[in-house]
């Protein structure tokens, strides 16, 4: 199987001691392409350094994570804009809204997302959306801005069938990760009705490791476990899942 991990923080400090080995394990497991979301100004150097060292395997996005939206978010966004003007990236992201950790910054998060939507349009790039406890708030902004040019993915999707249908109406894809392997992860409720052309696979490592590694550090080499779970739910061959989701990622991110 040749797989694409469409969302992996492989540059994270959690891989400081074994990043090379983790990337080798990923390659051996068939994960030949890894797309890396940015967090904020503190993650850029590590992400770009990983891309330089593994240029055939790792590709960077540029964006501001909603959990990093604080008082100085405008300064962070100027930096994002500077980088997008400077060189090519796979996507704008990850961006979005997160109301799990902090509801008090909702207005700032909404503004930061609108700015990044405009940047995605300006650079003809897809958006990679984080929507923790904020699916409706995020989808409303995308819906208002959708003029037929916006593309992207609702990453780590684990919502309802109605929410999944809304994502598809918006012209976006669903990013399926380790939560799909959890006993009460909810993927069995919406995934069987989704056509393969709308799906991407992701680990979101080092977070959300799939069963049987749940609770431990996640890594891209675990992506085949997610592919097998998706295959099980869609009653298809894992090879078909790998081929389709890799094709979807390459088309979306223009890899």
User: Helix 223-234 and helix 238-253: axis angle, to 10°?
Assistant: 110
What's the rounded Cα separation, in Å, for the pair 74 and 69? 9
**Cβ atoms of 133 and 103 closer than 8 Å:** no
Query: What are the binding residues for a divalent metal cation?
Result: 7, 9, 94, 130, 155, 204
Non-local CB neighbours of 1 within 8 Å, separated by 6+ positions = 30, 224, 227, 238, 239, 242
Q: What are phi and psi of 9, to 5 degrees?
A: -90, 60
Residues 219, 140: Cα–Cα separation, whole Å = 32
Binding positions are 7, 9, 94, 130, 155, 204
Distances (CA, A) of 85 to 82, 88, 129, 154: 5, 8, 21, 24
Residues 173, 200 contacting (CB under 8 angstroms): yes
Closest CA to 51 of 94, 11, 16: 11
How far apart are alpha carbons 146 and 19 in whole angstroms? 38
**Tokens matching residue 130:** 């984080």
Is 62:89 a contact under the CB 8 Å cutoff?
A: yes
């Amino acid at each position: 199987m040749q797989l694409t991990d469409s969302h992996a923080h492989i540059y994270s400090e959690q891989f400081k001691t074994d990043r090379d080995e983790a990337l080798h394990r990923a390659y051996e497991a068939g994960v030949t392409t890894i797309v890396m979301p940015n967090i904020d100004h503190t993650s850029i150097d590590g992400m770009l350094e990983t891309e330089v060292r593994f240029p055939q395997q790792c590709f960077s996005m540029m964006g501001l994570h909603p959990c990093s939206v604080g008082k100085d978010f405008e300064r962070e966004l100027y930096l994002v804009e500077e980088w997008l003007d400077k060189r090519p990236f796979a996507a704008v992201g990850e961006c979005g809204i997160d109301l799990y950790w902090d509801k008090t910054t909702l207005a700032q998060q909404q503004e930061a997302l609108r700015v990044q939507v405009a940047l995605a349009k300006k650079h003809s790039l897809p958006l990679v959306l984080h929507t923790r406890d904020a699916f409706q708030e995020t989808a409303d902004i995308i819906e208002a801005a959708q003029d037929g040019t916006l593309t992207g993915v609702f990453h780590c999707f684990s919502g309802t069938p109605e929410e999944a249908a809304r994502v598809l109406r918006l012209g976006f894809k669903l990013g399926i990760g380790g939560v799909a392997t959890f006993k009460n992860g909810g993927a069995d409720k919406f995934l069987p009705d989704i056509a393969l052309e709308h799906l991407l696979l992701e680990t979101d490592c080092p977070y959300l490791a799939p069963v049987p590694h749940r609770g431990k550090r996640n890594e891209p080499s675990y992506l085949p476990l997610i592919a097998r779970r998706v295959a099980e739910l869609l009653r298809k061959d894992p090879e078909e899942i790998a081929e389709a989701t890799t094709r979807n990622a390459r088309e979306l991110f223009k890899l």
